[in-house]
A and B are shown apart, each in its own frame.
Chain A
Amino acid sequence: MTDWIEITSEPLNTEAAVAFVTDPAAGGIDVFLGTTRAEKSASGQALGALDYEAYLEMASRQLNDLAAAARERWPVIKAAILHRVGRVRVGQPSVIIAVSTPHRAQAFEACRFLIDELKRDVAIWKREVWEDGSGDWVHPPHSSPPSPAV
């Protein structure tokens, strides 16, 4: 079963992700979109966008491994994990995760697992782009360097 795993600089398409995971065997489809949230800087500047960058070979491998890990824990029928690189404006999605499973609890859990693990581990970074064009890399407050997989 091939899942749709992609890192792309093109805008993400929610309908296409849902269409991909749709399956007669599925009783539930869960979709998560991570979107750029409006923020104000300390000096009152509005956030224009987030710029995403990936260590492509590693991130692609990690996303595929995550899909495999989800399949080991839940009866995933199909999964789509799409992450955008480049500039993602406020309100736009940087990541779409869609999963289909026989029952709804599995869909919720698998989808949550995929986004939580993606955010914790996958070699992708973002920097803020404020109105005046300035910005810095985002350092998640509670992050510690991921440890090697056991």
Chain B
Amino acid sequence: MVREKTGASEVPLELPPGSSVAVVRDALSRRFGIPDILGKCAWAVNQEYASIETPLQDGDEIAVIPAVSGG
């Protein structure tokens, strides 16, 4: 869903050291103009659920996780 709205499935980002997931969320919101959608999504860092405050390191993979509907 987010991929369809943004036209992007992977977005490399360069961020200041000590950035948290919130910084990623804000950067993506600004770049793609979708703050409302991102505000409703969960986040994963290196394939594990994370909070907005989770600190990030170089090379981390951050994923936007909209409401899941498996099964």
Contacts and interface: CB of A to CB of B under 8 A. Distances in A.
Does more than half of chain B's interface fall in helix, strand or loop, or is it mixed? loop
B40 A145 contact: yes
B67 interface: yes
A57 B70 contact: no
A119 interface: yes
Range class of the A interface residue count: 20 to 34
A122 B63 contact: no
Interface residues of B, number: 19
Interface in A30-84: 34, 52, 54-55, 57-59, 61, 83
Contacts of A120: 68
A125 B69 contact: yes
Given A123-B65, A125-B1, A118 B70 contact: yes
B44 interface: yes
Given A139-B69, A145-B67, 8 more contacts: A95-B70, A118-B70, A119-B68, A126-B70, A145-B40, A145-B42, A146-B49, A147-B49
Interface of A: 34, 52, 54-55, 57-59, 61, 83, 94-95, 115, 118-126, 137-140, 143-149
Interface of B: 1, 40-42, 44, 47-51, 54, 63, 65-71
